[in-house]
Amino acid sequence: MTPDLIWLWLDRAGIVLGVVMGVTWLGGLILAAFRPEVLRRWFSRNRFPRIGGTQVEDVDALVFTVSKPEVPAWVMTQLRLKAVGFIATEQSRDAAGELRRTAERQGVRALEPVCLADPDNPAESRDRTAALLVELADYGRLAVDVTGGKTPMSLGAFMAAEECGARTLYVTCEYPQGKPDMRTAAIACISRPS
């Protein structure tokens, strides 16, 4: 193969590549003009690069979704936390207050518990959790424990954790007779954003 022939093939490949790039650019421009939400969703889609695992000892501040006090109290004894925050419902407000007093007795900075007006609204939970994470940001590495509370609360808290770059934790344990058996409890990492 002669050098002239090599340059001819490289020139043709460059032309084809240029046409492909132009068509791709034009398609993206048309998509952006008529369906911008599709393009926005593609660029900002959720990514979960690291899911699962048990490495949770490097958490400094933690936000809990609260239903009953046993599990969060146990978590606070397992981790060396500097600060905590609590998302509660009207029904779990007293449990969150009890957890706050427990944290303060352990020398952990405890924020005033946040009580949701509508625990079935994940947007409210997301917004309130995000506000607590911002308030706790100065304490170091953040996490959200989504074990307690109603499912929409936990989903909203999970979304806030992902958006803020905080880990999401969950406590697994057995529940004989409807009460948690903390001897079987373990802290699991659901998501560790990069």
For 44-62, the three-class secondary structure string (H helix, E strand, C coil) is CCCCCCCECCCCCCCCCEE
Which residues does 120 contact at the CB level (< 8 Å), separation at least 6?
150, 152
**Domain parsing of the chain, residue ranges:** 3-43, 61-191
**pTM of the predicted protein model:** 0.72
CA distances from 136 to 1, 45, 112, 117 (A): 67, 26, 12, 22
Q: What is the DSSP string of the chain?
A: --HHHHHHHHHHHHHHHHHHHHHHHHHHHHHHHH-HHHHHHHHT----SSB-----TT--EEEEE-S-SHHHHHHHHHS--SEEEEEE-TTTHHHHHHHHHHHHHTT-EEPPPEE-S-TT-HHHHHHHHHHHHHHHGGGSSEEEE-SSS-HHHHHHHHHHHHHHT-EEEEEEEE-GGGS-EEEEEEEEEEE---
Domain formed by 61-191, architecture: 3-Layer(aba) Sandwich (3.40)
Looking at residue 101, what is its pLDDT? 94
Looking at residue 111, what is its pLDDT? 93
Model pLDDT for residues 42-63, shown as the tens digit of each residue: 676 565 555 555 556 688 999 9
Kindly give the parts of the chain with pLDDT less than 70. Answer: 41-42, 44-57, 194
Question: Residue 11, by phi and psi: left (phi above 0), alpha (psi -120 to 50) or beta?
Answer: alpha
Looking at residue 51, what is its pLDDT? 59
